[in-house]
Chain A
Amino acid sequence: MSDDGLVMLQLHEPGETPAPHDSERGAAVGIDLGTTNSVVALSFEGSVEVLRSADGRGLIPSVVHYRDDGGVEVGAKAREAILETPDHVVSSIKRLMGRGIEDVKALAGTLPYAVEPNPDGGMVRLRVAGRVLTPVEISADILRAIKARAEEALLGKMVSRAVVTVPAYFDDAARTATKDAARLAGLEVLRLVNEPTAAALAYGLDNAVEGLYAVYDLGGGTFDISVLKMEKGVFQVKATGGDAVLGGDDIDHAIAEHFLADRKAAVGEHPISAGEVKQALMTARVAKECLTGRTEGEWMIEVDGRPSRHSLTREQLEFLAAPFVERTIAICREVVEDAGIDVADIRGVVLVGGSTRMPLVRARVADFFGRPPLADINPDEVVAVGAALQAEALTAGSDTLLLDVTPLSLGIETMGGIVEKVIPRNTPIPVAMAQEFTTYQDGQSAMSIHVVQGEREMVDQNRSLARFVLRGIPPMTAGAARIRVSFQVDADGLLTVAATEMTTGIEQQVAVKPSYGLNDDEMADMLRDSLVHARDDMQQRLLTESVVEARRSLLAVQSALGVDGDLLSADERQAIDAAIEQVKAACAGSDRDAVTASVESLETATKSFAEKRMDRGIRQALAGMSVDRLDGALGGGE
């Protein structure tokens, strides 16, 4: 790259760009929205602070208490309420993000949630304290509390933007649901970042590590394993895998089942209520966590109002937990093999998530990777720390770069319910790929397109993301039409699908964003209900975008004047200067139409200037002058 290209570039490095109202746009935080606990952190000039409650706690239990008086309580207080009014409290809602009822797991035949039937299918709805709520709304309540916690810790400074982390293994529906929840809570999502990638970022920057690293994240609800290459500020995900519904909760479940079986043997069977199920699960969890430090203990559960005592040793716990831990190890093996990586080449394993405190987990991970895992950063906070660093990188600029991949293959249903993969898993994002399909009946005028995500061969074993119909295919014999289906996944891992009929030249096109059961109207209603200022917010965002665009145009014209200003007569120059002033004035105001109009007149005023510049460029090139300057920043990699 030429020196003068570099100078020009630096003028426009992120952070120094014309991002207007930046102070008014509020702080940008990192949020680990966990199944069990959430954490929020803020980075300033590379040093990260976890934002704590007044009494110094960093973890916010992801538990929501819907009070009878209409109030909503989140966190430690809400978790305590499980003992008093279990049916007013929701926990582990992240497991239901973007999911259907078939994914909810029962304990002793009873669900820990009251599920509202939804005739349209799609995302589950829960009945809590007389309200019917979707997981998106419940997550939004958690995010509102996180936002409030952050604003309080920052002494009233507004927090309006965030990097939110999701399990790498989250599918498109769950990612969309997470983004929607943040929007409902009044947070602009700068980026969804995968939890293991965020952890690696926090870890890598702190320790200046280089080479291949594995991140093993076992939390309450999800398991993730990622292998990353870290090199000079680049964090490249080589492979990722996991299970979106495997975690400490499953071990709690097994312990609770064990207690109930124990009880049945001792005092016989009694009907168990949804509330008692929740309490039993909570007790099981306490037992599990105690047995990390101790080797045995005794706990009490209650069924049908009658209490009973049960003892548990660490050995028994490990016997109950082993199948789940072994499953994580099997997934590790698959991911490493799938990526063609030799375990010996992995220079370290980073532990993330509360469940990695269990001695059994540490021992099995150490055993599989052949080295003791690294756990010197608090496994509860490391994800939020990474998210905060990324939030700063996105708003103030930085040298680090996260290169993520698609966690699951994306494909389309073909004849016989077989999936044709369009984008394989572990493909770097953003990515765009297309595949052609054809009609199978003479004169077929419409084609139904079913988008699925997953690794299995048959459609019904994968997650269904979207269905839509491409109509208006001209009459042709079977197999003659060419329907091009293109998939685009952005840097957040979110998918857009478009289908186009190619033979006619007349392009019939439909584009969809996969949905998880909430349609746009429902989303709009929720936004209206939950956020009086949603509309204003939207207007403000549109204005901000227009102003960003206008200032970009302004700077572009000014740069051009600096280089080729001599091409203009005094009159021409004056006209352009006047148009510039007009744009400046409009940007200072708050009328979006005025901003757009001023940019248009600037374009008109500079039209002939632009032509003269093109002419000069071509003349110079024809005269054999170096086009180096025109090549701009063509130069190579580093």
Chain B
Amino acid sequence: MTMTAAAMPALVPCWSCKGPVATRALFCSVCGAVQGPGALDHFTRLGLRPTFDLDMDELERQYFGFQRRLHPDRFASKSPRERALSQGQATALNEAYETLKDPLKRAVALLEMQGRKVDLTACGTINDKDLLMEQMEKREAIADADSVEAITRLSAAADSDVLSCQCHISAAFNGSDLEEAVHLTIRLKYLVKLADEARAKKVRMMRAVR
């Protein structure tokens, strides 16, 4: 008999009672043992539909709900093996939560699930000429700002650039325009960096004034 991979039930032996459990199961339904975190995408791990337009309250609710059951503190009196597995689960939940909470990382995760890789850590050159020019101008303006009022204005503008770019990313995902989503995500990366720089300078200047 042959089966397609999709129809194959994803079953593995429970490490504890050795009976079958679904690869995605958190606990074995027979012996109750916590299972390892396995390889899940961040949305599935938190029981969420993959979308850029995530409801932050729902994200938090799901995250709390899973942590309530999987956090190492729930396993303090259990065997070392179960404690280690729960730490793995909680670590994976934290990674998923941190990723999905941040619009930039969320966009990257969504793109990756659809086979598009965007490297956030690469500090390579900007290919996009317009983006490059825009960046240089704005960076200069931030560097030149010499009053709290000026930097506050620039910081607010940078924050609103970030927000509007997020709206465009949302539209790109909803229109299934992955090319555009990749392009905008790279743009968002630089806008976020600018906004962080502006905020840091604002904090520094406000502190100096005090």
Contacts and interface: CB of A to CB of B under 8 A. Distances in A.
Contacts of A334: 203
Q: Which of B1, B13, B14, B62 neighbours the largest number of chain A CB atoms within 10 Å of its CB?
A: B14
A560 B76 CA distance: 24
A434 B74 CA distance: 26
A191 B73 CA distance: 9
Nearest to A22: B77
A560 B19 contact: yes
Contact of A552 (B13, B64, B69, B78): B78
A231 B11 CA distance: 36
B68 A401 contact: yes
Given A556-B31, A559-B17, A617-B11, A430 B67 contact: no
A491 interface: yes
B25 A630 contact: yes
Interface string B1-39: 101000001010110111111101111111111010000
A337 interface: yes
B135 interface: no
Interface residues of A, number: 73
B71 interface: yes
A190 B75 CA distance: 11
Contacts of B91: 430-432, 488
Interface in A426-469: 427-432
Given A5-B29, A548-B79, A632-B27, A431 B94 contact: yes
B79 A632 contact: no
A610 B11 CA distance: 13
Interface stretch (B80-88, B111-119, B180-188): B80-88
A553 B16 contact: yes
B18 A560 contact: yes
Q: How big is chain B's contact interface, by range?
A: 35 or more
Contacts of A545: 79-80
B90 interface: yes
A614 B13 CA distance: 7
Nearest to A395: B77
Contacts of A488: 91
B98 interface: yes
Given A555-B31, A560-B30, A330 B97 contact: no
A610 B32 CA distance: 16
A632 B17 CA distance: 14
A9 interface: yes
Contacts of A394: 73, 76-77
Contacts of A638: 61-62, 64-65
A58 to B, nearest CB: 26
A401 B71 contact: yes
B72 A428 contact: no
Interface string A541-574: 0000100110011011101101110000000000
A19 B80 CA distance: 12
B192 to A, nearest CB: 12
A631 interface: yes
Contact of A4 (B19, B28, B29): B29
B66 interface: yes
B29 to A, nearest CB: 4
A261 interface: no
A563 B30 contact: yes
Nearest to A429: B94
B79 A549 contact: yes
A234 interface: yes
Q: Give the residue among A19, A557, A564, A630 with the most B Cβ atoms within 10 A.
A: A630
Chain B CB within 10 Å — which of A2, A337, A631 has the most?
A: A631
B29 A636 contact: no
A610 B19 contact: yes
Q: Which of B68, B77, B210 gathers the greatest number of chain A CB atoms within 10 Å?
A: B77
Contact of B72 (A2, A17, A490): A490
Given A429-B94, A564-B19, A637-B62, A622 B29 contact: no
Interface string B46-64: 1100000000000001111
A559 B32 contact: yes
A15 B77 CA distance: 7
A427 B105 CA distance: 14
B207 interface: yes
A553 B33 CA distance: 10
B159 to A, nearest CB: 10
Contact of B65 (A4, A622, A634, A636): A636
Interface in B129-173: none
A491 B90 contact: yes
**Considering residues A11, A12, A19, which has the most beta carbons from chain B within 10 angstroms of its beta carbon?**
A12
Contact of A621 (B9, B77, B80, B82): B9
A55 to B, nearest CB: 35
Contacts of A548: 77-80
B82 A552 contact: yes
A632 B28 contact: yes
Interface string A379-406: 0000000000010011100010111000
Given A401-B73, A430-B90, A637-B63, A606 B27 contact: no
B20 A614 contact: yes
Given A395-B77, A428-B98, A8 B22 contact: no
Contacts of B20: 613-614, 616-618, 621, 630
A427 B71 contact: no
A613 B21 contact: no
A545 B79 CA distance: 7
A627 interface: yes
Contacts of B16: 552-553, 556
A491 B73 contact: yes
Interface in A1-26: 2, 4-5, 8-9, 11-12, 14-15, 17, 19, 22
A629 interface: yes
Contacts of B95: 431-432
Given A401-B73, A618-B20, A637 B46 contact: yes
A362 B126 CA distance: 51
A14 B74 contact: yes
Given A556-B33, A614-B11, A403 B80 contact: no
B66 A637 contact: yes
Nearest to B16: A556
A629 B29 CA distance: 7
Most buried by A among B1, B20, B21, B67: B20
A236 interface: yes
25 contacts: A4-B29, A9-B32, A17-B77, A19-B77, A231-B64, A234-B67, A393-B73, A401-B73, A428-B94, A429-B94, A432-B95, A490-B87, A491-B90, A548-B78, A548-B80, A556-B16, A556-B18, A556-B28, A557-B17, A621-B9, A630-B22, A632-B22, A636-B62, A636-B65, A638-B61
Given A337-B203, A556-B18, 9 more contacts: A428-B94, A430-B90, A490-B87, A552-B33, A555-B32, A556-B14, A560-B17, A563-B30, A631-B25
Closest 5 CB pairs of A and B: A637-B65, A617-B20, A621-B9, A610-B18, A637-B62
